[in-house]
Amino acid sequence: MSGSVLSEAAQTVSTSPVLASRRLVVKIGSALLVDDETGKLHQSWLDALCDDIAAAHARGQEVLIVTSGAIAIGRGPLGMVGRKLRLEEKQAAAATGQMRLTQAYQNSLDRHGLTVAQVLITLDDTENRRRYLNARNTLDTLLRLRAVPVINENDSVATAEIRFGDNDRLAARVAQMISADTLVLLSDIDGLYTADPRVKPDAQLVPEVREVTPEIEAMAGVSSTGYGSGGMTTKIMAAKICMGAGCTMAIAPGKPRHPLQVLIDGGRCTWFSPGAEPRAARKRWIAGSVQTLGMLVVDDGAVTALRAGKSLLPAGIIDVSGAFERGDAVDVCTRDGRRIAKGLSAYATQDVRAIMGHKSEKIEEILGYRGRAEAIHRDDLVVGV
Ligand code: GLU
C-alpha cells in the first residue's frame, strides 16, 4: 500500500463521525426495508446493513437501531396489502409486523453473534420524566451488556395524542435521551437539497448545515412519501433536536448496499454539525436551565472527589433538604453552605436520606431495590457553578 493511500485512510478514520462516535443511532425507513408491492423484506439489503452495524460493534462502538417497517411488514399476514389503511388497521398491522421486524434484525445480527433487544417507545415516554429515566436506564443497561437495541414507536397502543407518528423525531429523541454522538437517518433521500429536486432539477445537495435557520427550513418545504411518514420536514425537526443535544446528524442515502460503510468512505449526504459535543450540551443544560429542588450537603472527602471529576457517592452525603424526585436537579453544598456543584439526583429525597453516609453496596439492603451506585453520576454533575 502506498503512503498516500495510508494517509488518506487515516484521514477518513479521523474525520467520519460514524467512526468517531462512541454511541451511534441508525434510523431505517420503511421504504428501504420492505418491498412496496409485496410487503416482503429486502433481506440481502438488511444483511448488508447488519454487517455494517456488526462492524461498528466490533470496533467497540455502541449501536442502537431505530427502525420503521412494522406496519409495512404486518399488512401482508393480515391480508391488507395494496390499499390505504385506517388508523386502527395500521395499529393492528404493527402488532403482527413488529415481532417479525425485530426478529428479522435478530436473525441477521445472529450471523455476527449479536443479541438484539426490542424497545417500544411512545412520545409520552420521552416527555414524562419518570418514564424517560426508565427508558434511558434500560437502554444504558442494554448497551453495557453489549446488546443492540432495536427501537420503534409502540404503534399498537399509541393514541393520536401520544404518537410521534414518525420515526425521524423518535430517533432524535432517543439520541438525545442517551447522549448519542451521532444519528444517521437512512432513507430513500440522499440529503437536504436547496429545493425539492423532483420539482427543480437544478437543486443542489447541501453537504453541511451548522444551524437550522429559516432558510434551511424553507429548503425542506413540505413533502411526504408513500410508505414512511417522514419526508424532509420531520428530518429537519429531528436535526433541531439533535443539534440542541450536541449530537451530529446525517440525512444519508440508505439504498446502497452497506450504507454506513459508504458514509465512512465519504459518501454523499447532509451532515448537521452541532457546536458542542453531547456531554457538554447536557452539562450546559444542567448548569443553565434546570431549577434545583433540593440540596445535598457533602463531606470534605466528597468535595475533593467532585473537584477531581468523580461522581458523588451516597457515602459522602451528610445532609439532605428539599423535596425532589429521581432525576430532579439539586445543589451540592459544603458543610459551611457554599454551593460547589449542581446535578441530577439519582434518588428522591427520602431515599437519599436513607442511604446517605452508607456504602453503595448497602443500597439494595436499605431501599429494597438495586439503584445506581452514585447519588449523582459525574455525567449529570456540573462542578463550580
Ligand atoms: N412506526 C412506524 C412503523 O414501524 C413507522 C413510522 C415512520 O415510518 O416514521 O411502521
Q: Report pLDDT digits (tens) over 207-228.
A: 999 999 988 988 887 544 433 4
232/60 Cα distance (integer angstroms): 32
- Per-residue model confidence as pLDDT tens digits over 244-253: 889 999 999 9
Which ligand 1 atom sits closest to the C-alpha of 155? 1
Query: What sign results for the dihedral spanned by CA atoms 256, 257, 260, 263?
Result: negative
Atom 8 of ligand 1, residue of closest alpha carbon: 228
What are the grid coordinates assigned to 228, written together?
Answer: 414512511
Q: Are 348 and 133 in contact (CB under 8 A)?
A: no
Q: 290-383 adopts what CATH topology?
A: 2.30.130
352/344 Cα distance (integer angstroms): 12
How many angstroms separate the alpha carbon of residue 331 from the centre of ligand 1?
Answer: 41
Q: Tell me what pLDDT residue 289 has.
A: 67
* CA geometry: angle 248, 16, 64, nearest 5 deg: 55
How many angstroms separate the alpha carbon of residue 10 from the centre of ligand 1?
Answer: 37
174/24 Cα distance (integer angstroms): 11
What pairs with residue 209 in β-bridges? 272
Calculate the alpha carbon distances from 262 to 21, 25, 186, 205 in Å. 16, 16, 12, 17
62/174 Cα distance (integer angstroms): 13
Top mutation candidate among 167, 170, 174, 237 for ligand 1, by most atoms within 8 Å of CB: 167
Q: Tell me what pLDDT residue 385 has.
A: 75
Helix 129-144 × helix 167-177 angle, to 10°: 80
72/87 Cα distance (integer angstroms): 13
pLDDT by 10s per residue, the chain, length 385: 333 333 343 334 347 999 999 999 999 999 999 987 788 899 999 999 999 999 999 999 999 999 999 999 999 999 998 889 999 999 999 999 999 999 999 999 999 999 999 999 988 888 777 788 889 889 999 999 999 999 999 999 887 777 888 899 999 999 999 999 999 999 988 999 998 888 888 999 999 999 999 889 888 875 444 334 558 889 999 999 999 889 999 999 999 999 999 999 999 999 999 987 777 777 877 887 678 999 999 999 999 999 999 999 999 999 999 999 888 899 999 999 999 999 999 999 999 999 999 999 999 999 998 888 999 999 889 998 7
373/219 Cα distance (integer angstroms): 48
121/241 Cα distance (integer angstroms): 17
Q: Tell me what pLDDT residue 80 has.
A: 93
The DSSP letter of residue 184 is E
Q: Are 357 and 319 in contact (CB under 8 A)?
A: no
How many angstroms separate the alpha carbon of residue 6 from the centre of ligand 1?
Answer: 41
Atom 6 of ligand 1, residue of closest alpha carbon: 166
341/333 Cα distance (integer angstroms): 7
Q: Are 380 and 344 in contact (CB under 8 A)?
A: yes
Ligand 1 neighbours, Cβ below 6 Å, are 29-30, 68-72, 94, 152-153, 155, 166-167, 228-230
Backbone angles phi, psi at 330, to 5 degrees: -135, 155
Atom 2 of ligand 1, residue of closest alpha carbon: 68
Q: The cell 457553578 sits on which residue?
A: 385
**CATH number assigned to the domain covering 13-277:** 3.40.1160.10
Top mutation candidate among 152, 168, 232 for ligand 1, by most atoms within 8 Å of CB: 152
| Sheet hosting strand 208-209, strand order edge to edge | 116-121, 148-153, 62-67, 23-28, 182-187, 248-253, 270-272, 208-209
Can you give the residue ranges of every domain in the chain? 13-277, 290-383
Helix 231-244 × helix 167-177 angle, to 10°: 10
Q: Which of 61, 95, 65, 263 is nearest to 170 (CA)?
A: 65
The model scores a pTM over 0.85: no
Q: Tell me what pLDDT residue 145 has.
A: 96
Host H or E run for residue 252 = strand 248-253
How many angstroms separate the alpha carbon of residue 30 from the centre of ligand 1?
Answer: 7
Which ligand 1 atom sits closest to the C-alpha of 94? 10
